[in-house]
A and B are shown apart, each in its own frame.
Chain A
């Protein structure tokens, strides 16, 4: 099947105005996308060629925008930043760099909930399914448009990406302080361990894009997947498990449990939620 949604869907989607929220029913898509196939993905050659300004226009450095487009809100924001730009490689021209990634963000429940919690932190959702990504993008657009005065929802964005292949194309080394892996697809076929979003070798890539001290958040309702993820992160020398007390006290955990679409679904069905957090360790000294 082609990448583009059927024409009737397209039409219904475009009929809405900018500030009107998208309807989920027009953006549904088959649950599983093959992480190995080429798709028709677009991704930057490297983080340096990533156009962050389009995703987070309110965080573009002043010199970069024409004076007439800069709103009062943006100026306020920049004043807070003391004019300092992001010094993270790959975020030249931005006042901030993306610090939080929601991998496999689905319909974006977590993004929308986190946005208001940390309005000064840039959060990016990454989702492999086109229509689902479009839904989140439309919803962000509508919410930004509805909240022009307050400047809410400027700090979240969503892109289509296969994170299992292209994470280092988007994020420079040590740039993220949080990665969320919420209710990843369980991939029941045990024969395809590489299809899972967590594996020993992928942990190395998560460690690469995270700064030491950063935290990976995982939640699932599938106990065996939970154990699988815990096993791989705990065994990986780049991570250590966060203690239970600290996990319970982390407010992102509550959001992850209560605000993700999957979290709500599990709640309705009376299922269990397994949570595990892992802190990115310092790299060991060279031997």
Chain B
């Protein structure tokens, strides 16, 4: 059975014909698909680097020194792609992988070929047209990535709540010359336990101290600092869930644009910090969620939409930290259920979508008049695409927003917004009315479930939903003809995967919910 495409995005490589490339990650594999003719242009890791092939290569004694062995992993142990994005100039593709906690940067050429960029000076290795080298591995699992507007820097948030900046393209420096700049490292000297009895009051402290001293030497040997440049910018003492960069032109005359970093966490926070180089300044918070926040989306300038474990979306004036409105999702879910989109079941293992809401995706889809820009919403384990006009997401909007949905043949996993650009310049076409959505759905799990397998698995994982030409019809519809263009990608052999691993990769949002009754370790002191 083919693995679903858990992450997709559209890229318009510089010098390309403007029709764009779809980048789609299926398990550990990233493919680039030509959106003009549907052909799969390149795949990473390279198809040819199959385990058998690699073993042969590396066992040759006089072959190139064991460099290739590093990439000679079987599909099973290759790390899954968990984040995929492009630089704003569409020259690079950035992927984060889960198991090895790494960030990988690829160059994408006009034809859509992906080339993983060299991490180390002079150690790049040309291998079947792909320049394969060392990825940058972070101390903790990356969970959100963004590229600064100047395309120089990757901002990366990790599972433990820290946000780092890394140069998009590592400098050509000998890695041993690099002193990693990490504020969490002891500033002046290492934090060594103070081993005087005067400072240790309790037996518990004393034991901890002894254990620490034993551990110290061992520790020094096993952990070396990252061999690349990275700077700790800010941190939450919580699990970081999303990260956005934003720029605002202040109202004051002649004021320069201001950059911000917005971060969200599992403890209901949305934090607004200044952008580089003043990320230590927290400007404010958007507080009001009572469950985890999993997704952030800036829909226009000062309007932020947030979603998570609450059955509503928050619409914020994020510069002022004010909640403008709550967009209710509960009614819509009930409607989806009543429409029979999610089969009724007595099976308790099917997550009941009417009971909990877990927002797994938010996208702003900008369109030109007479079409209306829309906010697109994905709820975890729900086979529908929700959409609402962005213009209605203001406190002054008197009516109930037109929140509607398009039914999908599988649970919605990801969306790539495809806006064709002109072939000559990278400018968007004057008319944004050719926007279409490429939607990735789960082909393995039953509709409405994040755990139950489908009775009849399908290979259809990618769908095309062009915008209806009639601006009055605000719906998106699955289009047979343009979906047929995705046939090669739909039928491509993905890595064989069991259902469990797929669920863990595709459905991580609901697991953020606090299970209540969190216990405090209480003992006699």
Contact = CB atoms under 8 A, between A and B. Distances in A.
Contacts of A32: 204, 521
B519 A2 contact: yes
A207 B282 contact: yes
Contact of B525 (A31, A232, A237, A286): A31
A35 B190 CA distance: 22
B201 A191 contact: no
Contacts of B183: 199-201, 232, 235
B77 to A, nearest CB: 26
B280 A40 contact: no
Interface in A247-266: 265-266
A205 B279 CA distance: 12
B347 interface: no
A168 B237 contact: no
A5 B281 contact: no
A202 B234 CA distance: 8
B219 A190 contact: yes
A133 B215 CA distance: 34
A34 interface: yes
Contact of B522 (A3, A37, A46): A3
Contact of A168 (B219, B285, B514): B285
B280 A204 contact: yes
Contacts of B188: 227, 231
A238 interface: yes
Given A3-B522, A190-B190, A237-B280, A265 B201 contact: yes
Contact of A286 (B185, B236, B256): B256
A41 B192 CA distance: 32
Contacts of A118: none
B209 A29 contact: no
A231 B191 CA distance: 11
B115 interface: no
Contacts of A232: 183, 187
B278 A30 contact: no
Nearest to B286: A46
Interface in B199-214: 199, 201-202, 204-205, 208-209, 211-212
Nearest to A162: B237
Interface stretch (A15-23, A94-102, A216-224): A216-224
Nearest to B522: A1
B425 interface: no
B522 to A, nearest CB: 5
A238 B187 contact: no
Contacts of A203: 280
B427 interface: no
Contacts of B234: 201, 204
Interface stretch (B66-74, B266-274, B440-448): B266-274
B194 to A, nearest CB: 5
Chain B interface category by residue count: 35 or more
Interface in B475-525: 514-525
Given A30-B523, A203-B280, A190 B199 contact: no
Contacts of B514: 38
Contacts of B219: 190-191
Contacts of A228: 186-187, 191
Interface in A153-185: 164-166, 168-169, 173
Contacts of B525: 28-31
B224 to A, nearest CB: 14
B520 A190 contact: no
B458 interface: no
Secondary structure type dominating chain A contacts = loop
A31 B187 contact: no
Contacts of A186: 193-194, 199, 205
Contact of B258 (A39, A237, A286): A286
B202 to A, nearest CB: 6
A237 B212 CA distance: 32
Given A1-B522, A194-B235, A205-B282, A40 B205 contact: no
A149 interface: no
A188 B208 contact: yes
A120 to B, nearest CB: 29
Contact of A45 (B232, B237, B287, B516): B287
A7 interface: no
B149 to A, nearest CB: 14
A221 B198 CA distance: 8
Nearest to B140: A194
Interface string A97-133: 0000000000000000000000000000000011100
Contacts of B91: none
Given A207-B280, A223-B199, A190 B237 contact: no
A269 B520 contact: no
Contacts of A38: 514-515, 518
B287 to A, nearest CB: 4
Contacts of B184: 193-194, 199-201
A272 interface: yes
Contacts of B284: 173
Interface in B342-381: none
A47 B290 CA distance: 14
Contacts of A225: 191, 194
Contact of A231 (B187, B281, B520): B187
A101 B157 CA distance: 30
A284 B278 contact: yes
A33 interface: yes
B520 A46 contact: no
Contacts of B522: 1-3, 5, 29-30, 129-131
Contacts of A191: 215, 219
A186 B205 CA distance: 9
Contact of B216 (A29, A47, A190): A190
A236 interface: yes
A238 B191 CA distance: 23
A204 B282 CA distance: 7
Contacts of A87: none
Contacts of B198: 221, 266, 269-272
Contacts of B285: 46, 168
Given A202-B237, A204-B234, A31 B192 contact: no
A271 B160 contact: no
19 contacts: A2-B519, A3-B520, A30-B523, A39-B519, A129-B520, A129-B522, A131-B522, A165-B236, A186-B205, A188-B205, A188-B208, A190-B192, A194-B160, A200-B183, A200-B235, A201-B236, A286-B274, A287-B256, A287-B277
5 A-B pairs with least C-beta separation: A231-B187, A201-B235, A200-B183, A38-B518, A30-B523
Interface of B: 160-162, 183-194, 198-199, 201-202, 204-205, 208-209, 211-212, 215-216, 219, 232, 234-238, 255-256, 258, 267-269, 271, 273-274, 277-278, 280-282, 284-285, 287-290, 514-525
Given A45-B268, A207-B282, A235-B183, 17 more contacts: A1-B519, A3-B522, A5-B522, A28-B525, A29-B524, A30-B204, A35-B237, A38-B514, A38-B515, A40-B518, A189-B208, A200-B183, A200-B187, A221-B199, A222-B194, A284-B278, A287-B256
